[in-house]
Structure 1
Amino acid sequence: MKKLLNDPRGVVREMLEGQVDLNPGQALLRDEDVVVRSDLPDPAARGVAVLSGGGSGHEPAHAGYVGAGMLHAAVAGDVFTSPSVDAVLAGIRAAAGPAGAVLIVKNYTGDRLNFGLAAELARAEGIPAEVVVVADDVALRDTVEPARRRGIAGTVLVHKVAGAAAAAGLPLEAVVAEARAAAAAIGTMGVALGACTVPAAGMPGFSLLEDEAELGLGIHGEQGVRRVPLRPADAFVEEILDTILADAALRAGERVALLVNGLGGTPPMELAVVARRALALLRERGLVVERAWCGNLLTALEMPGASLTVMRVNDALVARLDAPADAPAWPGSGRIAAARRLIGVSAVPAADVARQATPAGVAVRRAVLAAASALEAAEARLTALDSAAGDGDLGISMSRGAAALQALPDAAWAEAPAALVRMGEALRRAIAGSSGPFYATALLRAARALPAEPAPRDWSRALTAAVDAIAELGGARPGDRTMLDALRPAAEAFAGALESGRAPGAAWEEAVRAARAGAEATAAMRPRLGRASYLGDRALGTPDAGAAAAVVWLEALSPQFAH
Structure 2
Amino acid sequence: MKKLINDPKAVVREMLEGTVALSPNTALIADENVVIRSDLLAAPDRKVAVLSGGGSGHEPAHAGYVGTGMLTAAVAGDVFTSPSTDAILSAIRTVSGPAGALLIVKNYTGDRLNFGLAAELVRAEGIPVEIVVVADDVALRDTVPKERRRGIAGTVLVHKLAGAAAEAGLPLEDVAGLARVAADNLGSMGVSLGSCTLPAVGKPGFVLGADEIEVGLGIHGEQGVRRMALTSADNLSNLILETMAADRAFGEGDRVVLLVNGLGSTPPLELSIITRAALSWLEAQGISVERAWTGTFLSALDMPGFSLSLMHINDELLSLLDAPTTALAWPGRGLVNNNRFAAKAADKSSVEQTSTSGHRVTSSAASARIRVGALAAADALIAAEEALTELDSVAGDGDLGSSMKRGGEAIRALPADEFTSPAGSLAAIGNALRRAIAGSSGPFYATGFLRASRHLADNPLPSPEEWAEAFSSAVQAISDLGGAKLGDRTMIDALQPAADAFTKALADGKSATQSWSEAVVAAETGAEETKTMRPRLGRASYLGERAVGSPDGGAVAVSCWIKALKTVI
Normalising by the smaller structure, the TM-score range is over 0.9
Contact kept, 8 Å, 1:355 with 1:411, in 2: the verdict is no
Task: Output the CA distance in 2 between the equivalents of 1:113 and 1:501.
Answer: 92
Task: Output the CA distance in 1 between the equivalents of 2:514 and 2:137.
Answer: 71
Q: Deviations over 1:7-57 (max 9, x none)?
A: 000000000000011111110000100000111111111010001000000
Contact kept, 8 Å, 1:191 with 1:215, in 2: the verdict is yes
Task: Output the CA distance in 1 between the equivalents of 2:90 and 2:65.
Answer: 18
Q: Structure 1 residue 517: deviation in Å?
A: 0.7
Task: Output the CA distance in 2 between the equivalents of 1:354 and 1:434.
Answer: 30
Partner of 1:456: 464
Q: Deviations over 1:217-269 (max 9, x none)?
A: 11000011111111111111111111101001122101111111000011111
Task: Output the CA distance in 1 between the equivalents of 2:2 and 2:343.
Answer: 45
Partner of 1:174: 174
- State the one-letter code of the partner of 2:142: D
What SS does the corresponding residue of 2:27 show, helix, strand or coil? Answer: strand
Bigger shift: residues 128-137 or 383-392: 383-392
**Is 1:160 equivalent to 2:160 in the alignment?**
yes
Contact kept, 8 Å, 2:361 with 2:421, in 1: the verdict is no
What SS does the corresponding residue of 1:348 show, helix, strand or coil? Answer: coil
Partner of 2:535: 527
Task: Output the CA distance in 2 between the equivalents of 1:335 and 1:182.
Answer: 19
What SS does the corresponding residue of 1:307 show, helix, strand or coil? Answer: strand
Structure 2 unaligned runs (5+)? none
Partner of 2:564: 556
Partner of residue 445 from structure 1, selected from 442, 451, 472: 451
**Is 1:23 equivalent to 2:31 in the alignment?**
no
Task: Output the CA distance in 1 between the equivalents of 2:368 and 2:225.
Answer: 61
Partner of residue 362 from structure 1, selected from 368, 374, 393: 368
Contact kept, 8 Å, 1:195 with 1:303, in 2: the verdict is yes
- State the one-letter code of the partner of 1:175: V
What SS does the corresponding residue of 2:238 show, helix, strand or coil? Answer: helix
Task: Output the CA distance in 2 between the equivalents of 1:65 and 1:19.
Answer: 11
What SS does the corresponding residue of 1:132 show, helix, strand or coil? Answer: strand
Give the TM-score taking structure 2 as reference length: 0.97
**Is 1:393 equivalent to 2:399 in the alignment?**
yes
Contact kept, 8 Å, 1:412 with 1:418, in 2: the verdict is yes
- State the one-letter code of the partner of 2:353: A
**Is 1:483 equivalent to 2:491 in the alignment?**
yes
Overall identity of the aligned pairs, in % = 61
Partner of 2:476: 468
Partner of residue 541 from structure 1, selected from 521, 538, 549: 549
Partner of residue 514 from structure 1, selected from 515, 518, 522: 522
Partner of 1:382: 388
Bigger shift: residues 536-545 or 514-523: 536-545
Partner of residue 411 from structure 2, selected from 392, 405, 416: 405
Contact kept, 8 Å, 2:360 with 2:424, in 1: the verdict is no
Partner of 1:294: 294
1:316-355, aligned counterparts within 5 Å? 316-338=316-338, 340-349=340-349, 350-351=352-353
Q: Structure 1 residue 509: deviation in Å?
A: 1.0
Task: Output the CA distance in 1 between the equivalents of 2:96 and 2:59.
Answer: 24
Task: Output the CA distance in 1 between the equivalents of 2:524 and 2:415.
Answer: 32
What SS does the corresponding residue of 1:317 show, helix, strand or coil? Answer: helix
Task: Output the CA distance in 1 between the equivalents of 2:348 and 2:278.
Answer: 36
Task: Output the CA distance in 2 between the equivalents of 1:229 and 1:503.
Answer: 56
- State the one-letter code of the partner of 2:162: A
Q: Structure 1 residue 339: deviation in Å?
A: 5.0
Q: Structure 1 residue 363: deviation in Å?
A: 2.1
Contact kept, 8 Å, 1:215 with 1:227, in 2: the verdict is yes
Task: Output the CA distance in 1 between the equivalents of 2:523 and 2:149.
Answer: 65
Task: Output the CA distance in 1 between the equivalents of 2:415 and 2:204.
Answer: 53
Q: Structure 1 residue 354: deviation in Å?
A: 7.3
Q: Structure 1 residue 558: deviation in Å?
A: 1.2
Partner of 2:501: 493
Contact kept, 8 Å, 2:35 with 2:73, in 1: the verdict is yes
- State the one-letter code of the partner of 1:15: M
1:30-45, aligned counterparts within 5 Å? 30-45=30-45
Contact kept, 8 Å, 1:354 with 1:411, in 2: the verdict is no
What SS does the corresponding residue of 2:112 show, helix, strand or coil? Answer: helix
1:30-109, aligned counterparts within 5 Å? 30-109=30-109
Q: Structure 1 residue 173: deviation in Å?
A: 0.6
Task: Output the CA distance in 2 between the equivalents of 1:85 and 1:488.
Answer: 74
How many residue pairs get aligned? The number is 561
| Closer/same/farther in 2, CA of residues 354 and 498 from structure 1, 3 Å limit | closer
- State the one-letter code of the partner of 1:405: I
Task: Output the CA distance in 2 between the equivalents of 1:486 and 1:462.
Answer: 16
Contact kept, 8 Å, 2:371 with 2:416, in 1: the verdict is no
Partner of 1:424: 430
Q: Structure 1 residue 514: deviation in Å?
A: 0.9
Structure 1 unaligned runs (5+)? none
1:272-311, aligned counterparts within 5 Å? 272-311=272-311
Task: Output the CA distance in 1 between the equivalents of 2:360 and 2:483.
Answer: 39
**Could you say what the CA RMSD is over the residues aligned between the two structures, in angstroms?**
1.2
Task: Output the CA distance in 2 between the equivalents of 1:283 and 1:315.
Answer: 20
Partner of 1:266: 266
Task: Output the CA distance in 1 between the equivalents of 2:461 and 2:380.
Answer: 26
Contact kept, 8 Å, 1:292 with 1:334, in 2: the verdict is yes
Partner of 2:237: 237
Q: Structure 1 residue 92: deviation in Å?
A: 0.8
Task: Output the CA distance in 2 between the equivalents of 1:362 and 1:248.
Answer: 61
- State the one-letter code of the partner of 1:409: P
- State the one-letter code of the partner of 1:504: A
Contact kept, 8 Å, 2:434 with 2:443, in 1: the verdict is yes
Partner of 2:9: 9
Q: Structure 1 residue 452: deviation in Å?
A: 2.6
Partner of 1:184: 184
Contact kept, 8 Å, 1:401 with 1:430, in 2: the verdict is yes
Contact kept, 8 Å, 2:50 with 2:73, in 1: the verdict is yes
- State the one-letter code of the partner of 1:382: L
Partner of 1:435: 441
Q: Deviations over 1:437-479 (max 9, x none)?
A: 0000001111121233210110111011011011110011111
Task: Output the CA distance in 2 between the equivalents of 1:239 and 1:430.
Answer: 32
Q: Please list every run of at least 4 consecutive aligned residues from structure 1 whose deviation after the TM superposition is greater than 4 angstroms.
A: 352-355
Bigger shift: residues 119-128 or 274-283: 119-128
Q: Structure 1 residue 482: deviation in Å?
A: 0.3
Task: Output the CA distance in 2 between the equivalents of 1:119 and 1:261.
Answer: 30
Contact kept, 8 Å, 2:293 with 2:334, in 1: the verdict is yes
- State the one-letter code of the partner of 1:151: G
What SS does the corresponding residue of 1:303 show, helix, strand or coil? Answer: coil
What SS does the corresponding residue of 1:243 show, helix, strand or coil? Answer: helix
